[in-house]
Amino acid sequence: MNAIAQAYAARDVGSVFVYTHEAHPGEHYPHLTSMEQKFRHAQALRDVLGVSRPILVDSLDGACHRAYGSMPNMTWIFNKAGMPVYKSDWTDSHSVANALDYFLEVLDRRRAGERVAPFHVERLDYRNQDRERFYAGLARNGEKAVREFRAAFG
């Protein structure tokens, strides 16, 4: 997502990361109990994963996360008027880039004088499911996170 943010910045597309909480807490990144701890976790996320985009930190009770769907890895795209134009319950860089290309093309068409009207679409996208990388991420949180995930989902 960092690469996408950099690639689209020249088209006046902003990108932020909203840190909500650890989806799978463990010994290294336990359940959040204070905002100070939450800020430390967000800083670690930035440093460990190399997040170069601005990171906004949700409230301790997760008010922002709940308001936008509560999924563990969502992506939203808003137009300049603040209207949501894309919502995905899982972040996938290919899907996000595809959506950005589409909406920037619509903007170009409008600027060229074409009359366009919005309509709602639902579609099913597909993402690469790299289990090895996923479990490596769980392991960063601690063995407890790995154990609990395996017990719940196999």
- Domain tally for the chain? 1
Per-residue pLDDT of the chain (154 residues; tens, 9 = 90+): 999 999 999 999 999 999 999 999 999 999 999 999 999 999 999 999 999 999 999 999 999 999 999 998 999 999 999 999 999 999 999 999 999 999 999 999 999 999 999 999 999 999 999 999 999 999 999 999 999 999 998 7
| CATH code of the domain containing 33 | 3.40.30
Cβ atoms 50, 1 nearer than 8 A: no
DSSP helix, strand, coil percent of the chain (3-state; round to 5) = 45, 10, 45
User: How far out from the chain centre does Cα 99 lie?
Assistant: 14
Residue span of the structural domain in which 14 resides: 2-153
